[in-house]
Structure 1
């Protein structure tokens, strides 16, 4: 199993994109996002990690990607191959992207 962790000490930028999706398009959207991560995004400069979360009720999909810098995110969004996956994803669900930094992390004792 691969571990995904947020650490407040990391100097990373996190892109979180929450998609609202019809349940009958849920699996297709997951497939497009995962294909884009594997074929394009993971090979981009500054990419650190990507995680896709599937809403249990089928109405949301969350894509989380950690990057070295905001400039790396912006350069990737300008890449035609990444834009193609963005269009495919947006055709399946309504995206709401945002860029974040980790402010704090609390773990179990």
Structure 2
């Protein structure tokens, strides 16, 4: 089983997608993202891992996901089934998705 590894030398594309949501719908959005990940995303070629985070004030949900490459991520975006889940999430919340590279990691 592959796990999330935050490593500046890892050859992965990292998606950080921050959703802004009303607190009353935060759990609904989390449930949708978890279901989409379990039913669809994790079965796409190039998927590595996904992690869903919730803000303590209820106004944000962040998806930290890793893909084997930018191409794998872009191919997922083009998949109509994946688009359905992304559209459903955008009906609940505003999204700000960006791809990142890990620049630095520090441990105590």
Does the TM-score normalized on the shorter chain lie above 0.5? yes
Structure 1: 4+ residue segments shifted above 6 A: none
Per-residue deviation at 1:18?
A: 0.1
Task: Tell me how far apart the structure 2 counterparts of residues 54 and 80 of structure 1 sit (CA, whole Å).
Answer: 27
Query: CA shift at 1:5, angstroms?
Result: 3.2
Partner residue, 1:84: 84
Offset at residue 8 of structure 1 (A): 1.1
3-state DSSP class of the match of 2:103? coil
What is the TM-score normalised by the length of structure 2? Answer: 0.95
Verify the 8 A CA contact 2:4 2:48 in the aligned structure 1.
Answer: no
How far residue 64 of structure 1 moved from its aligned partner, in angstroms, is 1.1
Contiguous gaps of at least 5 residues in structure 2: none
**Secondary structure of the structure 2 residue equivalent to 1:49:** strand
Indicate the RMSD between aligned Cα atoms, in angstroms: 1.3
Q: How many residues align?
A: 107
Question: Deviations for 1:49-69, whole angstroms, at most 9, x for unmatched residues?
Answer: 000001111000000110110
TM-score (norm 1): 0.94
**Counterpart in 1 of 2:70?**
70
